[in-house]
Amino acid sequence: DGPTNFTVYGTLIADGVLFTSNSVPPFPRDWSGIRFSGPSAAHSILSNCVFEYGGASQNDVLALVQCEDGADITIQNCTFSHSGLYGILTDGASPRITGCTFSDCERFPIYQRSLDSFPDYSGNVFIDNAYRGVLVASGTIERSGTWQNPGIPYVVSLFGGVGLLDVAQNATLTLEPGTTVKFISRQGRLDVHGELRAEGKPLQPVTFTSFANDWAGGDSNGDGDNSAPAPGDFAGLTFFSKSSGSFLSCCEVSFAGQGRQGSAAVTLSIGANLLFNTCLIDHSLDIGLKASSANPTLVGCIFTGNQTAVLCKNDAMPTIDHCSFFQNSEYAVNNESVNTTIRAQNCFWGDATGPSDTSDDTSSGGLYNPNGQGDHVSDRVDYSGFLPDPFWGPTFSIRPNRTMCSAGDNFRLLGAYANLDGERSLDVYVAIMFPTGELVFYPHLTSIAEPIPVVLPALSALPEFELLGLQIPDGAPLGNYYVFAAGCEPGAFEFVSNIAYYQFGIY
C-alpha cells in the first residue's frame, strides 16, 4: 500500500539478495530504499545484491541505499537500477563501494549529500543514468578528506546555495589523479581557505570545468550534443591567505571566469603563494589567473583561449617559468603594479618571434619587441630568453602517490615521465619533513640542499625507473614523515623549498 522503506541501526549481512518492488509490472519509485543509520550499522555488508525500482522519497529516504551518520558500510558487487532518484546516498558516512553497477537511475547514480562524506570508490560501472556524475552538496568542507576518483565526475549541486564549495581554514581536500569536478551553476566556485591538494598525472589530470563539458568525464548533463561548454560557465577557484600549503600539479581549469568584470578562473588573494606545476588554464571569460599581493610559482603551465592569461595586481610577483601562452586575446601577462617587474623567462608566447611588446620602456630598464607576433605583454614583464616553440615537458611524477613513513622504514621512489625523446640528465633534490616540522635534505639530512645527479633514459627505452632509495634513520622521532622531491636541469635552477622545474610530488 504505497512506498515503503526500512532502517538498519544494527548490522545487516546480505549476500545475493534481491530488493525490489512487488508490483507487476514494476516501476521506479514503487518503494523507497534501505537506510543505514549510525556507527552501529557500520559493520553491515551488502554483497552480490540487486536493488531496483525504489527511490520514492519516503521519510527522507531518497536512494535505494542510504548511509547516514557514521554508517560506513561495505557495498560490493551489487547492482542498483531503475531508481526514481538516486542509487546510493551518503550523509555523514563514508561507505566502501566497490565493483558495483549503476544503471537507469532517474537522477544521479550517487549523491554525497553532506561534505563530511568521503566514500571509498573502486571498480564501479555506470550505465544509462539520467546524469553521469556523483552529485555533491554545496557548502563548507570542515574536515580533511580525499575525493577518490570514482570514474565519473563530481558535480557540485545548487542545493543550499549557488554551487559554492568552501574548504575551511583547518581542512585539506585531496583530489586523486583523474578526478573531474564540474559545476552546474554559473556562480559555482571553489573557495580555498585551508588546503587543496590536486595532484594529477600526465594522462590523468585533475579537472575543474563546466557541467556542459562532455570532453572531460563524459556527458554529465545527459543531453547528448545539445549543449557545449562556453567561457564563464562557472566562476572558478579562489585561494585565500591561509591556503599557501595548497598544491596543483597536472590540473586543468576550463570554461570559468563568470562574475564581475575582472573575474578570473583562478584568483589568488593576499599571501596565497601557491605552486602550479604543469597546469592548463583555458577559455576563461576574462582572466585566466589573477594574483593580488600574492607570489605564486607557475612552472610548465599552459594558458590559452583567455582574454588575459595572467593579471598581476597590488605588487604581486609571480615566478613564471617554462610556460606557454597562445591565443589569449588581450594579454599573456599584464602587470598593473608600477613597483614590480614580473619574471616570466624561458616561456613560449605563441610565436617564435616572441611576445608582442609595442611599448618602448627600455630607458627605464624594460624590454621592447615591436616585431613580436605572439601574445601581448605589458610593461614591467621580463620575458627574456623566450622559447621559439611550446614547452610541453618533460613531465614527471613519482610513485607511490603517497607514502607515510616511520623511523627505520625503507622505501623506493619510482620516477615516471612523459614527452622525453632522448636521454637527459637531471639534478634531483629530496627534502624530508620530520614530525617535528624540521625540514632536512637527503642524503646528509642537513639544512643544505645538495643535488643528486640522475640520468633519465629515453621514454621509449624505460617509461618508469627507480629514482633512488630512502631510509628514515633509526632513532629518528616517531610519527609521519613527508618527502618532497623535485628536479631541474643541472645547474639551471636554485632550489627553493619544494619548487623546481619538474615537480615530482608530495608524499
Beta pairing, strands 452-456 & 424-433: antiparallel
pLDDT of 503 reads 32
Q: pTM of the full predicted structure?
A: 0.79
What is each CA distance from 321 to 19, 292, 393, 443, in whole angstroms?
58, 19, 12, 28
pLDDT digits (tens, 9 = 90+) for 42-73: 999 999 999 999 999 888 999 999 999 999 99
DSSP E strand stretches across 152-306? 154-156, 164-167, 172-175, 180-183, 189-192, 195-199, 206-210, 236-239, 247-249, 251-254, 264-268, 275-277, 280-282, 287-292, 297-299, 302-304
Residues of the chain with pLDDT under 70: 1-3, 159-161, 202-203, 261, 391-424, 426, 429, 431-439, 449, 456-507
| C-alpha angle 416-205-158 in degrees, rounded to nearest 5 | 155
CB burial of residue 365 (10 Å; 0-12, 13-18, 19+): exposed
Contact 205, 250 (CB under 8 A): yes
Residues 6+ away with beta carbon under 8 Å from 67: 36, 73, 88, 89, 90, 91, 93, 95
What is each CA distance from 320 to 253, 276, 277, 295, 323, in whole angstroms?
18, 10, 10, 10, 7
pLDDT of 396 reads 47
CB burial of residue 376 (10 Å; 0-12, 13-18, 19+): buried
* 66 closest CA partner among 91, 41, 83: 91
What is the DSSP-derived secondary structure letter of residue 376?
B
Contact 92, 39 (CB under 8 A): no
Tally Cβ neighbours within 10 Å of residue 210.
Answer: 28
Helix, strand or coil, per DSSP, at residue 97 = strand
CATH of 396-506, one of 3.90.105, 3.40.50, 2.60.40, 2.40.50: 2.60.40
Beta pairing, strands 464-471 & 410-418: antiparallel
pLDDT of 322 reads 86
DSSP E strand stretches across 176-250? 180-183, 189-192, 195-199, 206-210, 236-239, 247-249
Question: 397: which 3 cell numbers?
Answer: 611524477
Report the amino acid identity of residue 14.
A
In the chain, CATH 2.60.40 covers: 396-506
pLDDT of 195 reads 96
pLDDT of 464 reads 53
DSSP E strand stretches across 421-477? 424-433, 439-441, 452-456, 464-471
Contact 198, 175 (CB under 8 A): yes
Contact 414, 465 (CB under 8 A): yes
Convert 273-292 into a string of H (helix), E (strand) and C (coil).
Answer: CCEEECCEEECCCCEEEEEE
pLDDT digits (tens, 9 = 90+) for 151-203: 999 999 986 567 899 999 999 999 999 999 999 988 999 999 999 999 887 66
pLDDT of 351 reads 93
pLDDT of 5 reads 82
pLDDT of 435 reads 65
